[in-house]
A and B are shown apart, each in its own frame.
Chain A
Amino acid sequence: MTDKLVEVHDLHVRFVSRDATVRAVNGVDFDLMPRETLCILGESGSGKSVTLRALMRLNPPRRTVMSGTVRVGGHDVLAASPRQLADIRGGVVSMIFQEPATALDPVFTIGQQIRETILRHEPIGRAAADRRAQELLEIVQIPSARRRLDSYPHELSGGLRQRAMIAIALSCRPKLLLADEPTTALDATVQIQILLLLRQLQQDMGMGVIFVTHDLGVAGEVADRIAVMYAGRFVEVGPVASLMRAPLHPYAQGLLGATVHAGARGTRLTTIPGAPPNLEHLPQGCAFAPRCAWVEDACLSAVPALRSPAPGQAARCVRVPDTLQDAA
């Protein structure tokens, strides 16, 4: 058994301001093996992006209170000093974002932005860094890579910009790539290109990938495992096939039913009534209980523990049989 690439235990993230405390992440536990792809699936406000950013400590430092443990590639991220953190970011773990137009720096060329990252992390000269930058653009399949090194972000189309951002993220061969909705802003024909590129790069470079998305279809294309997030907790974790075929948690079931798919025409879409809870005032029990058709007394008193009916599958719901309690 190889060492785990990521270990997250009891992660809590709160955003504190004068008026209120927002409990964005409320006790998340998970591991990631090297070369594994985990998709975190959730709706807006579920805490999926905050969880992802916590792995690099990118949430705004002054307002964020974090607790728990986060270990990435053996580094304790929450305890790291600013200097250690700068080594980890880009070198061990890097991130790609939803909107490449705002994530790239508009006043530097693509080549300069890749070179900057390489020179910060590796003791090589500018010429070598430039060669590597060109190689990277070829790896992400940017046509006429040599010429594109001198392009500014605004000179590229949306798909090329996203490829350039991937090139920057991969420039120091990270062990872990974090992807925050990287295809949401792209057109359908470009989205599938980027998804397949990421899947191939993940295999070629042997990276672990954590991929945040709200789109079940996207998760189905790239994930080994899916974690469904609701109100700052993982409510269900399982292998991609079983989660897409037969989800356990009522919220995951509702999400699957509400996804418009081919063949839904003429039928009424199943919906989840109500709206997600306010993260300033979370209920004491299961956060999904107010919207759940199966709610019972036990749901309201305490947050349900993860229950595991089969190896690798678990859900925070009192109705799920827990046949593997000892194994879990």
Chain B
Amino acid sequence: MPLVALPDVGGPAQPLLSVRGLQKHFPLRAGFLGRSAGAVQAVDDVTFAIRKGETLGIVGESGCGKSTTSRLIMALMEPTAGEILFDGQPIGHGGLTLKEYRRQVQMVFQDSYSSLNPRLTVGESIAFAPKVHGLDTRRAIARAHELLTAVGLNPTQFARRYPHELSGGQRQRVNIARALALQPRLLILDEPVSALDKSVEAQVLNLLVDLKAQFGLTYLFISHDLNVVQYVSDRVLVMYLGRVAEIGPVDAIYGAAAHPYTMALLDSRPSMDPGNRRKVPPLTGDPPNPVNPPSGCRFRTRCTAAEPICAATVPPLAPAGQDHAAACLMVLPGSGHSRAPAIAA
């Protein structure tokens, strides 16, 4: 029985994936008796939706929770709180089973080598999941060959090779082919080009753009590279220390950022113009430790516009434009911050 693409359930207006109040705390144990010594608040009250057919980019620095978010969505770990709906249906609890869910959501990781089984040929790796899902061996291998062609690798040349016989870019193509093997609707790409050289990075980005159109995919694209995220995304989510700092259309985020962290992140990019170099770093210091994050707004310890109110109030996401929201008291009308807009009458 061949695999068939799974149907759209809720129609185009229903988000493909919604995440509500997602939270993941890793408890820390101290001492001989393993008493609780606080928790790493890796993801804290994160809410967003991925629309059908779009690419949502997530940017942020190390420790901001972007990879934990992707692993929670992939159901590779249990959230501390919050829920995930796929096309309107919950995962488990009488909704989609994990096996059904994983057919529709697949992931590509940063490290192309450690995410492939070194003892399987790339053809076997790609054919593995279709076999688990009921395809007979002959059909699964034919499918693997189709996919290798789709990602630009000649199957007669590559299907029998082992991962160590491929370059980094070729291995990442194999990972992408494997992720596509079950005809998923959502692809989670966690730093897929970060380990690649520039010339190869461009090849893989072009491939991802092509595959999205060819297979009608939706992408969640996670990266620390602002230029890459701008290139591939329709909307962008900026995370800082486990929380959403800002979310909006790519042009709004890059052209009219509302959160001071987003502005600093954008100003931290090299200028690409030797005649007009950066003079002053936009931020000082490193991101704080997520074990004991600052009270109130987590960015306040590095923010030049911070006021006492920022330590007392957790800023909610407030509208900052069309389809654009930022978690900053300077955006929230009547928040008590001196730069906040007045409440409209």
Contact = CB atoms under 8 A, between A and B. Distances in A.
B265 interface: yes
Interface stretch (A21-29, A174-182, A214-222, A315-323): A214-222
A190 interface: yes
A265 B250 contact: yes
Contacts of B61: 187-190
A286 B81 CA distance: 59
Interface string B17-31: 000000000000000
A260 B268 contact: no
A298 B226 CA distance: 41
Contacts of A268: 206, 209
Interface stretch (B107-115, B129-137, B178-186, B281-289): B281-289
B286 A221 contact: no
A190 B265 CA distance: 10
Given A187-B287, A189-B61, A241-B274, A43 B282 contact: no
Interface size class of A (residues with CB under 8 A): 35 or more
A78 interface: no
Contacts, number: 121
A258 B268 contact: no
Nearest to B60: A187
B5 interface: no
Given A188-B224, A265-B231, A275-B167, A270 B202 contact: yes
Contacts of A159: 285-286
A262 interface: yes
Contacts of B201: 258, 260
Contacts of A221: 270-271, 274, 277-278
Given A187-B287, A192-B282, A271-B206, A223 B274 contact: yes
Nearest to A274: B199
Interface in B182-211: 197-203, 205-206, 209
Interface residues on B, range: 35 or more
Given A189-B264, A189-B282, A220-B270, A260 B197 contact: no
A67 interface: no
B214 to A, nearest CB: 15
B244 interface: no
B269 A217 contact: yes
A159 B302 CA distance: 14
A272 interface: yes
B294 interface: no
Contacts of B265: 188-189
B227 A193 contact: no
A38 interface: no
A30 B135 CA distance: 60
Given A196-B281, A260-B227, A264-B231, A269 B268 contact: no
A283 interface: no
Nearest to A266: B231
A220 B205 contact: no
B198 A160 contact: no
A316 B226 CA distance: 33
A261 B227 contact: yes
Given A44-B197, A260-B202, A269-B202, A220 B271 contact: yes
A258 B274 CA distance: 19
Nearest to A218: B270
A260 B224 contact: no
B254 interface: yes
A206 B282 CA distance: 26
A101 to B, nearest CB: 13
Contacts of B239: none
Given A187-B62, A193-B281, A262 B198 contact: no
Contacts of A158: 62, 286
Contacts of A191: 268
B278 A196 contact: yes
A190 B286 contact: yes
Nearest to A44: B197
B275 interface: yes
B203 A271 contact: yes
A28 B301 CA distance: 48
A187 B224 contact: yes
Interface in B216-260: 224-228, 230-231, 250, 254
B272 interface: yes
A315 B50 CA distance: 48
A284 interface: no
B280 interface: yes
Contacts of B274: 220-221, 223, 240-241, 244
Most chain-A Cβ atoms within 10 A of its Cβ — which of B209, B273, B279? B273
A254 interface: yes
A278 B56 CA distance: 38
Contacts of B282: 189, 192
A295 B280 CA distance: 44
A304 B225 CA distance: 36
Interface in A173-210: 187-193, 195-196
A214 B270 contact: no
Contact of B281 (A192, A257, A264, A275): A192
Contact of B199 (A43, A215, A241, A264): A43
Nearest to B197: A43
A81 interface: no
A93 interface: no
7 contacts: A158-B286, A189-B283, A196-B279, A220-B272, A241-B275, A261-B272, A264-B231
Given A187-B224, A217-B272, A221-B277, 10 more contacts: A43-B197, A44-B197, A189-B265, A189-B282, A193-B281, A196-B278, A220-B273, A220-B277, A260-B202, A260-B205
